[in-house]
Amino acid sequence: MVTGIFNRFQSDVDFDEYNLRISLNKAIRRDEIVQQVYRGHANLTPALIPPWAYDFPEGLEPIMYNRDQSQKLFRSSGYPRTRPLKIVAFQKHASLLKAIAAQIEETLSIKVETTVIPKQEETKWKRVVAEKKLIPGWDILIASTSTQFYEGTPAFFHREFFGFDGALRTGPELPEFDQVYKKMVNQIQRRELLEAAKDVDRFVYKNALSLFLCVPQKLYAVNRHVDFNPYRTTFELAETEVEERHWSRRLR
């Protein structure tokens, strides 16, 4: 899951303002991002739960690009027009960062400053976010997280970004989110767990808590004469076999 994390700790910009968050979401042409950045190998999702997960909330649709609405909401958000929007990303998301910055500049007619975090500095930047002792200087961090199962997914995605103990939470605690999330973790029956997980995603979607982007697909290169079963979440070599014609068979 790749998303943009709003820095709600900022003092000169109010990212707790819903109109600001939703205006930025409506400034993104996600279909273009999928085609141009990921060459078609990504899936759109309304919020943070992938569409193939068991707890994907039916009825939600990805936020669509709307230039007029984005501009109107942005003007009403109180964002200072002369202040550049600062977006940062780790090196693996450099192309995505460039595309997002260009779209926001074009739609909202504001300057966007971008920073690509060198690979050798990633740990330091993540530590600053996780420890929450310093206020980051950026407004939006393009980040990603993953899970190795696809039910109860908010335990990996939503909690990490918004929960009171989330390593990637960049802002004061959100009691309303914690309340919705707590309802999910208290479930012991699978059906109730899935329904509660959907409610968590609906809450995040309704409040536009992230800059929702997409779910990149993982591509694997498999040699000839290999029986490989791909998974959406993991790389299961334990279930991979080679045929008699595979080169390794000739070494016996």
- Architecture, CATH, for domain 2-217: Roll (3.10)
Adjacent-strand bridge partners of 211: 4
Domain spans in the chain, listed from the N-terminal domain onward: 2-217, 223-252
Which pLDDT value is given to residue 222? 61
Which pLDDT value is given to residue 80? 93
Quick check: helix, strand or coil at residue 43? Answer: strand
pLDDT tens for residues 122-139?
A: 999 999 999 999 999 999
Q: Strands 241-242, 226-227: parallel, antiparallel or unpaired by DSSP?
A: antiparallel
pLDDT tens for residues 168-220?
A: 999 999 999 999 999 999 999 999 999 999 999 999 999 999 999 999 887 66
Cα separation of 230 and 57, whole Å? 24
pTM for this entry: 0.86
For the chain, how many residues are written? 252
pLDDT tens for residues 3-26?
A: 999 999 999 999 999 999 999 999
Q: Interior CA angle at 32 toward 27 and 34, to 5°?
A: 115
Distance from the Cα of residue 38 to its chain's centroid: 15
DSSP strand E in 73-224: where? 85-90, 112-117, 140-144, 210-216
